[in-house]
Amino acid sequence: RQYSFQVRAINHCDGTDENLSCHGPFSEPRLFTVREPRRPLPPASPERDARTAITGSATVSATVTWTRPIDNGGSPITGYILYMKKPDDSMDSFALGPDASSWTVDDLQAGEIYRFHLVAINAIGRSGNSPVLTLVAAMPPGIDTTSTQTYSTESFRPIITDVKETEMVIEWL
């Protein structure tokens, strides 16, 4: 069903007679469509969060984040299901509330590949699957097991030692 709306201003033109009013022009008509609620659109692809960390000699804790779907289908999101495909092709799922926007999975095996996807749920049903996030259970390069940035120290910074018209020389300590 479609509805058309127009707006216009009405002002008092004379301070002595409040029944006298001036009418402004109508705005351009705007159409709004009202439809029956439906399933939500899928959320965008989940992302790996910076809170991912090596928690033991061979285990990793990974945090996955996501944003709400751009269209809830006309019905509030009531929850999410985060799916995790393990290296052995088995699947785990995590039922999460409507305000959830991240989830941390512990005890992942370091060096293994995990795949995550998400569905949103409203009163009508489940969305389709989000795009898949493929995650290697490891720390990002340049960060050690204590979350210290090892590439930010002076010894890792390049030094420009010579600049010419068509070249430059860069050295590391």
Both structure tokens of 124: 């009508």
Both structure tokens of 65: 């984040």
HSE, side-chain direction, 13 A CA sphere, residue 38: 7
| Mean pLDDT, range 56-67, rounded to an integer | 84
Distance CA 67, CA 49 (A): 12
Distance CA 6, CA 24 (A): 12
Both structure tokens of 148: 């210290």
pLDDT tens digits, 2-28? 889 999 998 888 777 777 888 899 999
Distance CA 93, CA 138 (A): 21
Amino acid residing at 7: V
| Mean pLDDT, range 144-152, rounded to an integer | 64
Across the chain, mean pLDDT equals 87
pLDDT tens digits, 83-110? 999 999 999 999 999 999 999 999 898 8
pLDDT of 81 reads 98
pTM score > 0.85 for this model?
A: no
φ, ψ for residue 113, nearest 5 deg: -100, 130
